[in-house]
Structure 1
Amino acid sequence: MTIFVDIGSLDDIPRQGARVVRTAQGCVAVFRTADDQVFALEDRCPHKGGPLSEGIVHGTSVTCPLHNWVFDMNSGAAQGADEGQVRTYATKVQQGRILIDATLIRASRAA
């Protein structure tokens, strides 16, 4: 059984924007798409360590702000000719609140 933890309101993240959740295992970027889907990815591009939370959200993808690598937020996989993967975290939205898989992030606090 998956346990989820509330990390904040959906309205705390602008459409096509992101926020960072700091965890014991590192930072997690939580994204909101234009149609209110929510995704959570490791906040570090495998190419040069760029902060994905500062990237451009388009559809269900995010583009790294440093070197334009594009990641599918469903799978965490780099798209196109780029090779790499970032970890993804299960999320859901209930009653306007964002919930993230607590077993993957263990101790966390919203930033």
Structure 2
Amino acid sequence: MIRLDPATASSSAPPSVPAWAITSAGAPSDGDAAFRAGAALGALDTLARAQAAWAGAWRQRLAVRCAASSMRLAGRAEDAAALRDAWHLRPLRADPGPAGAVFGAWRQLARRQRR
């Protein structure tokens, strides 16, 4: 579980998605759906930037998804679960194999801090 870091906590209320962005009145058009998705991502981005622990968890989750997409593009069958297994269940300092190497590269990229 990710807990609030008191050292970096803000006294202001956490960001929220505007009410107009989450209304479910009727089926939105593609443009409306894209606009609402952008509003939700903007709120999540603000939250992730406010708490370093959330940002790290978010980046690692994205690393798993990116690695799984890379495997599909390479024509391989490994999904997110297989990538995590290849990385975390290997013996210490053992070669993780091609799938684990791709996942390891994405994990390294996710650890880099933006400037």
Q: Which has the higher strand share?
A: 1
Task: Give the TM-score taking structure 2 as reference length.
Answer: 0.26
Task: Give the TM-score taking structure 1 as reference length.
Answer: 0.26
Q: Which has the higher helix share?
A: 2
